Amino acid sequence: METFIGIDYATWWYLVVGAVFSGYAILDGFDLGAGAWHLFFKDEKSRRVALNAIGPVWDGNEVWLVIGGGALFAGFPIVYATVFSAMYIPFMLFLTFLIFRAISIEFRSKEPMKWWRNMWDVAYSLSSILLAVLLGVVLGNVLQGMPLDANMEYAGSWLEFINPYAIMVAVCTLAIFMMHGAIYLIMKTEGQQFDKMNRHVKEAMIFFIVCFAITTIYTLIYFPHLSDRFKNNPLLFIVPLMAFLSIANIPRLIHKKKYNFAFFFSSLSIAMLLMIVAIELYPVIIISTGNPAFSITVYNGAASEKTLGILLIIASIGTPLVVTYTTFVFWTFRGKVKMDELSY
């Protein structure tokens, strides 16, 4: 088995895919969260400011989703095929809402009529909320496992993805994105809208902490196997500890009005929570709820070693370019929103 600094290629690609999806959750998470707050703004100016806060970056953030899907398909084709077959309906709904969200942002400012803009405002906000929920549904089903047969194909019904745990994770995902988005809007707005988001961010933090606590307790009671790796290797406990401290630090930073640091720790919290998921599952990617022998792992679900080696070379070249581009865009459009004739 080919290795690089003592880690096999399949595990390296598992880390790459996890890092890319974490990047997507952090970057698209705040603009989905901002969209979820959109209907809380009642006047035209506030809604335009909120849209223009994400305007320069929202489509670039979705690049990470495309890269993540491509990385999963290239490195773990069996995982890609099984997950997309099992949850065909959620993914088709996800793409539908992704399209509606994009056209809502672009079409809203094309006509001045109030009914026109209100219609696209509703479409934009609902699409943002449902996208966050669908991401949580997928994550919840991956965490609890799926019924797979001996060929590692999905053996359940098309409605099994709707279950209590998936819904719980979905609501928790929406909650953390709304908190993340509220912090971002605080960083980008001024005046009354700034004051309003300061109030809303406190509501979002309470919403997330309650959802997170309930979901964590439910997981420990009904899916205790997900904590086995932490029990077997106490050193790994530092990861959930860091996640907890990161989440706990956000209200303190908001209270001290250190919003940039609050946004950093909100991003770190998302990354750490997804890292916990990765540790809980490894080396399994898709747990078979029927026969554990049918589970898909980083080894039996991976592409050939030669393919993985080539992919790692491509990733080592492409990742710095994407990170540089993303950093450049955010640095260019830093600061408060300034409206002009080209604004949404």
Q: Average pLDDT for residues 130-134, to the nearest whole number?
A: 96
Q: What is the pLDDT of residue 14?
A: 95
Mean pLDDT, range 257-283, rounded to an integer = 94
Q: State pLDDT tens for residues 151-167.
A: 888 888 878 888 999 99
3-class DSSP state for residue 336? coil
φ and ψ at residue 55, rounded to 5 degrees: -50, -45
pLDDT of 35 above 90: yes
- How many CA atoms, within 13 angstroms, populate the side-chain half-sphere of residue 239? 19
pLDDT value at residue 157 = 81
pLDDT confidence of residue 213? 95
Give the model's pLDDT for residue 154.
Answer: 86
Q: What is the mean pLDDT of residues 201-222?
A: 94
Spatial separation of the C-alpha atoms in residues 344 and 54, rounded to whole Å: 10
pLDDT in tens, 45-85: 889 999 999 988 888 888 899 999 999 999 999 999 999 88
- In this prediction, residues 276-295 reach a mean pLDDT of 91
Interatomic CA distance for residues 287 and 215, integer angstroms:
19
Residue extents of the structural domains in the chain: 3-332
Report long-range pairs for 216-221 (Cβ below 8 Å, ≥24 apart).
218/165, 218/168, 219/143, 219/165
| Tens of pLDDT, residues 219-262 | 999 998 888 889 889 899 999 999 999 999 999 999 999 999 99
